[in-house]
């Protein structure tokens, strides 16, 4: 394959996502302190915002999440687990986050912060449904149980806010800086302006 056929922008985006996802492995050593302080929300927003082919955003983000989930479970339990009961809900939340990222037309602090807040709210409302982690039977499957689950999740979502703030800054800021220096990373539409 010739170098002309390789889309440098796509390669850079994938490498940045993989590097950020590798930071998830740090959290396995400190699961209580760093729970949800991960780059996954930022990765979803970043992929949605920058991949020009949106199917690539969903594919790269969800496959990266799947592989890093499997690695984290393997590190914690020494078992290779490729499916768990809440996968569907978790992946639905992250697919919606990719969609939210795709709504970012101009990456600036305000747009990324608003998208991040929306993504965190989606994550909170979907992944903390009381039946998502049904095997634990922590909360009744009622509206009151859902409220209890949401309240109990606040410290974890606070960590997600902090993780998104850090990793969105690194990913979005880093890519915008790189685009300002290397025109090959810009889209045709950006080059025309």
For 29-81, how does the pLDDT look when each residue is reduced to its tens digit (9 = 90+)?
Answer: 766 667 778 899 999 999 999 999 999 999 999 999 999 988 888 887 888 87
Tens of pLDDT along 85-138? 778 888 999 999 999 999 999 999 999 999 999 999 999 999 888 777 666 677
Question: Is 104 inside a domain boundary?
Answer: yes
Domain assignment present for 103: yes
16-35 mean pLDDT: 80
Q: Please check whether residue 193 lies inside any domain of the structure.
A: no
d(CA 100, CA 112) in angstroms, rounded, equals: 10
Give the pLDDT of residue 1: 47
Q: Is the pLDDT of residue 5 over 80?
A: no
For 150-159, write each residue's pLDDT tens digit.
Answer: 898 888 888 8
Whether 64 is in a domain gets the answer: yes
Has residue 107 been placed in a domain? yes
pLDDT for res 170: 96
Predicted pLDDT of residue 55:
95
**Do the beta carbons of residue 118 and residue 103 sit within 8 Å?**
no
- When divided into structural domains, the chain yields a total of 1
The answer to whether 107 and 46 have CB atoms below 8 angstroms apart is no
Q: Name every residue whose Cβ is closer than 8 Å to that of residue 140 and which is 6 or more positions away in sequence.
A: 130, 148
Provide the domain limits for residue 80. 3-187
Banded pLDDT at 13 (limits 50, 70, 90): very high
192: in domain: no
Residue 149 in contact with residue 159, Cβ under 8 Å?
no
Q: How far apart are CA 93 and CA 126, in angstroms?
A: 6
Report d(CA 115, CA 48) in Å as an integer. Answer: 11
What pLDDT, on the 0 to 100 scale, is given for residue 48?
Answer: 97
pTM for this one?
0.89
């Amino acid at each position: 394959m010739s170098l002309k056929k390789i889309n440098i922008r796509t390669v850079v985006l994938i490498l940045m996502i993989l590097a950020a996802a590798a930071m998830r492995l740090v959290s396995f050593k400190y699961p209580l302190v760093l729970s949800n302080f991960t780059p996954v929300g930022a990765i979803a927003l970043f992929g949605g915002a920058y991949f020009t082919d949106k199917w690539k955003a969903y594919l790269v983000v969800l496959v990266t999440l799947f592989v890093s989930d499997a690695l984290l479970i393997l590190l914690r339990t020494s078992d290779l687990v490729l499916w768990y009961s809440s996968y569907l809900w978790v992946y639905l939340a992250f697919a919606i986050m990719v969609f939210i990222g795709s709504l970012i037309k101009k990456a600036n602090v305000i747009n990324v912060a608003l998208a991040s807040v929306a993504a965190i709210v989606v994550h909170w409302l979907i992944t903390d449904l009381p039946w998502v982690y049904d095997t634990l039977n922590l909360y009744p499957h009622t509206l009151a149980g859902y409220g209890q689950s949401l309240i109990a999740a606040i410290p974890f979502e606070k960590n997600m806010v902090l993780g998104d703030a850090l990793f969105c800054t690194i990913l979005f800021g880093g890519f915008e800086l790189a685009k300002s220096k290397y025109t090959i990373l810009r889209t045709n539409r950006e080059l025309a302006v």
